[in-house]
């Protein structure tokens, strides 16, 4: 059998393979570059960035769970100016492919400012808009739980960005397809899903929450079936590409996500438990394709009816 073609494409950008470290689990790549050649990665979704520097939430921020973990890091990052002027240029010196710039905001204006800033950076190929932040002007409800707010943010970002805009959707909603359609209707070039589920752990000895913030984002292998279901639903509801994520930790998980409708796949929590996770998945992909008689990975995207 000819060696399987594991390449894929996102909005005209050719990826050597579909494996992308998810935002918040790979920093700005420098630490991982000390372990292996990160140029094997399809792309990198860099750490989520806000307008102002953020120290993040109080500690403890992490709670272990069976088959996953809960985190409440709180978007700790150095702010958009530092990312645009230092982090992204430094990353371009060690990673020679387009990256995905993940941005967040607490108002539409913040999203616009961050989008304008990263849009001008040469090594940014895609802008990933995280709509899981609370909207400070509308009572703190996360942007991503309202189709109207998703539409508003997407429209505003698309008005200033020349590069493809992918909206990262929250799974903490009643109808994920409705949220996806709202983003598509305002010109989103693609979608990323799912972000973390809301979870909580209680220290039964101390009778209080494990995490200082009480609740946080639940990720890890346990959420894979939920993520596959939502990727499947969204890919059937829209015509734009989908980046799937949520519990992916093996080459076979990547294939499952792509069969559900994902054009590329992000790996999140697995990077935190095994820093070589993405490398291992990429190396295992051709063998998995051969076992499943897949000649071209792109042929299986959305093959499940």
In whole angstroms, what is the distance from residue 135 CA to residue 143 CA? 6
- On the CB side of 294, CA atoms within 13 Å amount to 23
Residue 234 CB contacts under 8 Å (≥ 6 apart), including other chains? 169, 176, 177, 180, 191, 193, 242, 261
- On the CB side of 28, CA atoms within 13 Å amount to 20
- Catalytic residue numbers? 133
Burial classification of residue 31, based on how many CB atoms lie within 10 Å of its CB (0-12 exposed, 13-18 middle, 19 or more buried): exposed
The phi and psi torsions of 100 (rounded to 5 degrees) equal -105, 120
Q: Which of 216, 272, 217 is nearest to 249 (CA)?
A: 272
Strands laid side by side in the 165-168 sheet: 19-21, 264-267, 242-245, 190-193, 165-168, 124-130, 99-103
Give Rg (Cα) of the chain: 18
């Amino acid at each position: 059998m000819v060696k399987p073609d594991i390449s894929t494409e996102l909005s005209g950008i050719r990826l050597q393979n579909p494996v992308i470290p998810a935002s918040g689990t790979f920093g700005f790549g420098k630490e991982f570059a000390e372990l292996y050649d990160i140029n094997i990665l399809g792309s990198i979704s860099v750490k989520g960035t806000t307008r102002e520097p953020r120290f993040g939430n109080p500690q403890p921020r992490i709670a272990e769970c069976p088959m996953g973990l809960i985190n409440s890091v709180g978007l700790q990052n150095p702010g958009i100016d530092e990312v645009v002027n230092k982090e992204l240029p430094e990353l371009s010196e060690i990673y020679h492919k387009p990256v995905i710039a993940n941005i967040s905001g607490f108002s539409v204006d913040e999203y616009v400012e961050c989008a304008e800033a990263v849009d001008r950076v040469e090594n940014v190929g895609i802008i990933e808009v995280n709509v899981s932040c609370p909207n400070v002007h509308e009572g703190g409800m996360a942007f991503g739980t309202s189709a109207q707010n998703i539409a508003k943010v997407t429209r505003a970002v698309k008005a200033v960005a020349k590069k493809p805009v992918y909206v990262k959707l929250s799974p903490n909603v009643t109808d994920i397809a409705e949220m996806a359609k709202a983003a598509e209707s305002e010109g989103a070039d693609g979608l990323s899903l799912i972000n973390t589920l809301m979870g909580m752990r209680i220290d039964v000895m101390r009778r209080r929450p494990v995490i200082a913030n009480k609740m946080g984002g639940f990720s890890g292998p346990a959420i894979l079936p939920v993520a596959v279901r939502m990727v499947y639903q969204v890919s059937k509801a829209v015509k734009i590409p989908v980046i799937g994520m949520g519990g992916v930790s093996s080459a076979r998980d990547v294939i499952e996500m792509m069969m559900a409708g994902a054009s590329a796949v992000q790996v999140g929590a697995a990077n935190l438990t095994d820093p070589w996770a993405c490398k291992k998945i990429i190396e295992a992909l051709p063998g998995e394709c051969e076992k499943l008689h897949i000649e071209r990975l792109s042929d299986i995207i959305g093959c499940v009816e």
